[in-house]
């Protein structure tokens, strides 16, 4: 700790930081542009100047850029010094010379860092009267809008895009005062993290293109804390609504999960909520078209439940509460997971590993601190994008610790650090079926079939800790690689093993667990991260339930005749024939969902549920962190949360438990009572009767406009504002104006800070944890008492089969996830279906790039264009998962290549 004097007031501050972050942490208002807490300082914009004095007798002082100056004990500085203030006002005056007169038509307006800083420095009137510089804009794809005139040359965009996120196609061009930030030519930004540019850019050069289509100022949005539903990582988001439709997703800082950034799937996938295929009315199919109201639907459902014997199928994308409610309604024995059996087994195995292993699963921010990473089988950029971004930071750890600390450069000195480190990166080993975007950072890559990957993993574990089972018959090269990986992991302070369910291989997960536990056995602070298929896979696994196959069998064997399907398109989890058969054999099919799909088409009773922005609930992410998402806006009476529908059904049929639950909090306490291992769930957020100074927390900012005109076209008499019985948040702008508890911050705002950078005021220290601790409660912690037993299930070597290909699942950031694939902007980025096969195999089979290849998996026929891959193992092939036009198959699986028979053109009979 050091004592510094800001304008003669002493403050106790931690050392090692720069003056700017220290001042911001202390709550001082100091303007800045080029500095970003996640990216460090480069001292380019000269905006954060302060006076620094030699000692208490020094009255003159010198101007310093606070972002480039390290905190020293006894330092005396002045922020309000007239000379410093005038300097800052001048700098912003220069930055503004070419800034266009655009605020009224600029999407950043009202949430603009440049506006905030201009006001903060007091540059109220422009005194530049000459011509302004202009630029042509570029087309940057469906996510971002480009308006280059507004640029103030702070370099944040290229520093983020290239240095932080590893993008290749955004750069700075031209020279002197003609700098141009964009692509070499018009085109889609390739990075999966491009959307963050909209938040990184301090002004309106890069703005959210999806927001532009239904533009709303930040002050007009009704916002609520939400959790991303598009992968298992559970990044925190802020969802904003206006006039009944969802308008935007912005980052909600969580110092342990997503930090300052989101991936494009999470940021732009929200449009599925506004999609035309939304289910907005409940219906009873036998009684169409008139039976489309809530009570008829409820009656029909109740009748079906009373008359039949029911089973329930849960969902990995529905909240914990909804799944639990269904489980209670149908009974524990009749509750099935609506995921394919492979997925079911792998998720359960992952849960078991996290529970029983002695290695802790680190949060994403902890992964960034790892100094050696071994990835087994996961293409992170496509299955858990934000984790890939974390790994990108992790590879910088070792050079940071080794070189930078030796050179005595503070880590926030970004330019100096990058100059010193150059392209050096710490140990990162990637073993995957085919190339991934992280390969460029890897020390070594290993492309092989899942069995070989698992065998490599087992071999590494065996080298680290000989009690772990060994692998026989490994090639010399592989043995050498295993040795190299083991050495790197042993040398590191915080090694992390990353694996997951996306390859569909149990052996890989077990191998990863063995490595992590071997490291622990050698007293290393090792971590294991496992990615899961869906946003609530972990929560569903913790609730427990039977496989989907047994649901099919229950109907087939007349054990049950009625099924309740919760937010689930079964056609994405089992083969078409099976599901169609199953749904046909059911006497009554009750479906709760919010998007029309093949399953809802066959529902006898369809109940319209709320999408993530119209529902309250809890998701458990891949690290076992339970996080609450809040309803953003009131809905029409017909649309309500699945757990509320199921609760109403339970109350009508007088279910002995459900009838006693009144409201959200009761369900939470029931879950904890039923599942003691989920203790802490009720503490994730304050209860719904929580009030600060007797007031609720407003979802809308205090400047929210148009309240007395929004609905005036329907009726000039304004209705009473909707009430939210489930949470301490109110739907209006009335309520407590201070900072709410960290788990329920609807939006970041502080006086003078209208942009998202107001988050500085909500953090304990800049870039650290939120005040009061980061939201979310981890339900899984390793038990130090438990002795881990190494898995001995070392897989056999993979043997290709003649006339067959072993099909591996290939995931895509855009398209593989069900909900985001319904978003209009994401749809533009979904790749065409393909089958990736080894180049040598293709040569043998006389197939060329783009040629159609027919094959069959378990009777499901496919005919897809070939994509040649030099890396995918011979005898295996990659099939994209979940893309439109690729029917479901439980992967990995053997495919029969039967070119002659299956696709012979049928003879046309002519009469």
Partner 1 sequence: MFSLMRSMWLTFLHAFHKRDTILYPEQKAILPTRWRGRIVLSRDPDGGERCVACNLCAVACPVDCISLQATEDETGRRYPDFFRINFSRCIFCGYCEDACPTYAIQLIPDFEMGEYNRQNLVYEKKDLLINGQGKYHGYNYYKVAGMAIGGKDKGEAENERPPVDVKSLIP
Residues engaged in binding partner 1 (CB under 8 A):
100-105, 109-110, 129-137, 147, 149-150, 173-176, 178, 180, 212, 214-217, 219-220, 243, 703-710, 712-713, 715-717
- Which runs of E-coded beta strand occur in 561-663? 562-566, 588-593, 605-608, 617-620, 625-629
The count of other CB atoms within 10 Å of the CB of residue 214 is 14
- Rg over CA atoms, the chain: 29
Give the shortest CB-177-to-partner 1 separation in angstroms. 8
Measure Cα distances from 887 to 47, 60, 385, 503, 852 in Å.
55, 74, 24, 18, 16
CB of 733 to partner 1, least distance (A): 9
Minimum CB–partner distance for residue 734 and partner 1 (Å): 12
Minimum CB separation of residue 104 from partner 1 in Å reads 4
The burial of 849, by beta-carbon neighbours within 10 Å (0-12 exposed, 13-18 middle, 19 or more buried), is given as exposed
**CA–CA distance from 534 to each of 158, 613, 614 (Å)?**
32, 17, 19
Identity of the residue, 72 or 707, whose beta carbon is nearer to partner 1 in the bound complex: 707
Closer CB to partner 1, residue 3 or residue 705? 705
Q: How far is the CB of 86 from partner 1 (least distance, A)?
A: 26
Q: Which is nearer to partner 1, 221 or 395 (CB)?
A: 221
Q: Kindly state the smallest distance separating residue 735's Cβ from partner 1, in Å.
A: 16
Burial, 675: exposed, middle or buried (Cβ in 10 Å; 0-12, 13-18, 19+)? middle
- Rank residues 13 and 158 by Cβ distance to partner 1 and give the closer one: 158
Question: Is-contact 411 380, C-beta < 8 A?
Answer: no
Question: Which CB, 221 or 316, lies closer to partner 1?
Answer: 221
Q: Which two tokens stand for residue 745?
A: 């911050």
| Contact criterion met (CB below 8 Å) for 503 and 809 | yes
Q: Record the tokens describing residue 123, joined without a space.
A: 């540059």
The residue among 219 and 629 lying less far from partner 1, judged by its C-beta, is 219
Tokens, residue 150: 């507004």
| CB nearer partner 1, residue 94 or residue 894 | 94
Name the residue nearer to partner 1 (CB basis): 183 or 510.
Answer: 183
Buried b (16+ CB within 10 A) or exposed e, 606-637: bbbbbbbbbbbbbbbbbbbbbbbbbbbbbbee
Q: Which residues pair with 852 in a beta bridge?
A: 865
Q: Give the total residue count for the chain.
A: 911
In the complex, what is the shortest distance from the CB of residue 136 to partner 1, in angstroms, rounded to a whole number? 5
Is 142 or 500 the residue whose CB approaches partner 1 more closely?
142
Contact 151, 203 (CB under 8 A): yes
Taking the least distance from each CB to partner 1, the nearer of 155 and 458 is 155
CB of 96 to partner 1, least distance (A): 12
State which residue, 129 or 789, has the beta carbon closest to partner 1: 129
Q: Minimum CB separation from partner 1 for residue 703, in Å?
A: 5
At closest approach, how far in Å is the CB of 842 from partner 1?
A: 41
Residue 692 Cβ vs partner 1, minimum distance, rounded to whole Å: 24
Closest by CA to 606, choosing from 288, 270, 245, is 288
Cβ closest to partner 1, residue 713 vs residue 789? 713
Closest by CA to 825, choosing from 218, 235, 239, 267, is: 267
**337 vs 699, beta carbon nearer partner 1:** 699
Element (H, E) at 206: strand 206-208
Read off φ and ψ for residue 316, nearest 5 degrees: -85, -5
DSSP-based three-state secondary structure for 287? helix
Could you tell me the smallest distance in angstroms from the CB atom of residue 220 to partner 1?
6
For the CB of residue 46, give the shortest distance to partner 1 in the complex, in Å.
22
Nearest distance, CB of residue 172 and partner 1, angstroms: 10
Q: Which is nearer to partner 1, 243 or 660 (CB)?
A: 243
Give the list of residues 6+ apart from residue 320 with CB closer than 8 angstroms, or none: 536, 539, 540, 543, 617, 618, 619, 620, 626, 671, 681
Alpha carbon 710 to its chain centroid, in Å, reads: 33
Q: How far is the CB of 132 from partner 1 (least distance, A)?
A: 5
Q: How close are the terminal C-alpha atoms of the chain, in Å?
A: 95
Tokens 């496509």 correspond to what residue? Answer: 382
Q: How far is CA 737 from CA 434, 695, 742, 772, in A?
A: 52, 9, 14, 17
Nearest approach, Cβ of 704 to partner 1 (angstroms)?
A: 8
Comparison of 717 and 789: residue with beta carbon closer to partner 1: 717
In contact, 170 and 198? CB cutoff 8 Å: no
Q: Which is nearer to partner 1, 693 or 716 (CB)?
A: 716
Q: Pairing between strand 75-78 and 144-146?
A: unpaired
189 neighbors 140 (Cβ within 8 angstroms): yes
The angle at the Cα of 866, spanning 861 to 871, to the nearest 5 degrees, equals: 120
What are the phi and psi torsion angles at 306 (to 5°)? Answer: -70, -40
Dihedral sign for Cα atoms in the order 62, 66, 72, 75: positive
């Amino acid at each position: 700790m050091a004592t510094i004097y800001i304008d003669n007031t002493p403050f106790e501050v931690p050392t090692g930081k720069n003056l700017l972050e220290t001042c911001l942490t202390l709550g001082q208002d100091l303007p800045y542009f080029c500095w970003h807490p996640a990216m460090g300082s480069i001292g380019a914009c000269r905006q954060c100047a302060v006076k620094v004095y030699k000692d208490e007798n020094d009255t003159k002082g010198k101007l310093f850029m606070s972002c480039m100056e390290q905190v020293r004990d006894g330092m005396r500085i002045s922020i309000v010094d007239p000379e410093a203030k005038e300097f800052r006002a001048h700098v912003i005056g220069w930055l503004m010379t070419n800034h266009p007169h655009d605020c009224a038509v600029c999407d950043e307006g009202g949430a603009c860092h440049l506006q905030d800083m201009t006001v903060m420095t007091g540059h109220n009137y422009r005194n530049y009267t000459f011509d302004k510089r202009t630029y042509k804009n570029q087309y940057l794809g469906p996510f971002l809008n480009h308006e280059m005139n507004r640029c103030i040359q702070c370099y944040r965009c290229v520093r983020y895009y290239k240095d932080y996120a590893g993008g290749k196609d955004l750069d700075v061009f031209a020279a002197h005062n003609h700098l141009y930030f964009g692509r070499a030519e018009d085109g889609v930004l390739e990075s999966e993290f491009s959307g963050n540019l909209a938040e990184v850019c301090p002004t309106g050069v890069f703005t959210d293109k999806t927001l532009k289509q239904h533009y709303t100022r930040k002050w007009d949005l009704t916002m609520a804390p939400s959790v991303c539903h598009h992968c298992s990582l559970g990044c925190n988001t802020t969802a904003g609504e206006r006039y009944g439709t969802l308008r935007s997703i912005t980052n909600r800082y969580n110092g342990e999960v997503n930090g300052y950034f989101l991936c494009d799937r999470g940021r732009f996938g929200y449009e599925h909520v506004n999609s035309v295929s939304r289910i907005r009315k409940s219906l009873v199919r036998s009684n169409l078209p008139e039976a489309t109201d809530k009570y008829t639907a409820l009656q029909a459902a109740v009748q079906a439940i009373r008359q039949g014997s029911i089973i329930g199928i849960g969902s990995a994308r529905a909240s914990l509460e909804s799944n639990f409610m269904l489980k209670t309604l149908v009974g524990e024995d009749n509750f099935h997971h609506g995921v394919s059996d492979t997925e079911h087994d792998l998720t359960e195995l992952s849960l078991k590993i996290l529970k029983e292993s002695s290695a802790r699963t680190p949060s994403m921010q902890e992964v960034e601190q790892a100094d050696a990473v071994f990835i087994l089988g996961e293409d992170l950029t496509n299955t858990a994008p934000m984790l890939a971004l974390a790994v990108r930071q992790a590879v910088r750890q070792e050079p940071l610790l080794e070189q930078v600390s030796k050179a005595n450069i503070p880590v926030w000195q970004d330019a100096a650090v990058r100059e010193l480190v150059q392209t050096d990166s710490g140990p990162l080993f990637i073993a995957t079926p085919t190339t991934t975007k992280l390969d460029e950072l890897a020390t070594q890559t290993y492309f092989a079939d899942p069995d070989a990957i698992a065998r490599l993993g087992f071999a590494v574990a065996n080298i680290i800790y000989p009690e772990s089972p060994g692998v026989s018959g490994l090639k010399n090269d592989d043995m050498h690689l295993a040795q190299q990986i083991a050495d790197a992991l042993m040398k590191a302070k915080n090694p992390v093993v990353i694996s997951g369910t996306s390859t569909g291989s149990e052996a890989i997960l077990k191998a990863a667990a063995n490595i992590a536990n071997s490291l622990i056995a050698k007293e290393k602070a090792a971590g294991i991260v496992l990615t899961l298929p869906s946003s609530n896979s972990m929560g569903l696994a913790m609730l427990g339930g039977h496989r989907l196959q047994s649901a099919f069998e229950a109907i087939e064997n007349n054990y049950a005749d009625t099924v309740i399907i919760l937010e689930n398109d079964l056609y994405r989890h089992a083969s078409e024939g099976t599901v169609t058969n199953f749904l046909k054999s059911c006497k009554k099919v009750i479906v709760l969902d919010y998007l029309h799909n093949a399953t809802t088409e066959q529902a006898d009773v369809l109940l319209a549920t709320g999408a993530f922005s119209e529902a309250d609930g809890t998701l458990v992410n891949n690290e076992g962190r339970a996080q609450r998402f809040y309803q953003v806006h009131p809905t029409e009476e017909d649309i309500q949360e699945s757990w509320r529908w199921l609760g109403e059904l339970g109350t009508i049929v007088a279910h002995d438990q459900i009838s006693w639950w009144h409201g959200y909090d009761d369900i939470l306490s029931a879950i904890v009572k039923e599942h003691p291992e989920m203790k802490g769930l009720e503490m994730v957020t304050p209860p719904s009767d929580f009030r600060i100074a007797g007031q609720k927390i407003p979802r809308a900012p205090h400047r929210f406009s148009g309240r007395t005109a929004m609905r005036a076209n329907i009726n000039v008499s304004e209705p009473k504002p909707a009430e939210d019985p489930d949470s301490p948040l109110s739907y209006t702008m009335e309520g407590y104006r201070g900072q709410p508890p960290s788990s329920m911050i609807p939006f970041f705002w502080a006086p003078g800070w209208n942009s998202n950078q107001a988050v500085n005021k909500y953090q304990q220290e800049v870039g650290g944890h939120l005040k009061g601790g980061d939201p979310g409660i981890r339900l899984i912690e390793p038990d130090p008492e438990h002795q881990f037993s190494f898995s001995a299930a070392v897989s056999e070597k993979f043997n290709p089969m003649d006339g067959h290909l072993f099909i591996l699942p290939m995931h895509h950031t855009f398209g593989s996830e069900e909900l985001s694939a319904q978003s209009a902007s994401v749809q533009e980025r979904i790749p065409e279906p393909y089958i990736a096969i080894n180049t040598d195999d293709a040569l043998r089979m006389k197939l060329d790039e783009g040629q159609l290849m027919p094959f069959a998996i378990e009777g499901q026929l496919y005919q897809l264009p070939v994509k040649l891959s030099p890396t995918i193992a011979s005898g295996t092939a990659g099939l994209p998962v979940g893309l439109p036009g690729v029917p479901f198959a439980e992967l990995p699986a053997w495919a029969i290549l039967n070119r002659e028979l299956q696709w012979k053109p049928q003879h046309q009979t002519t009469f």
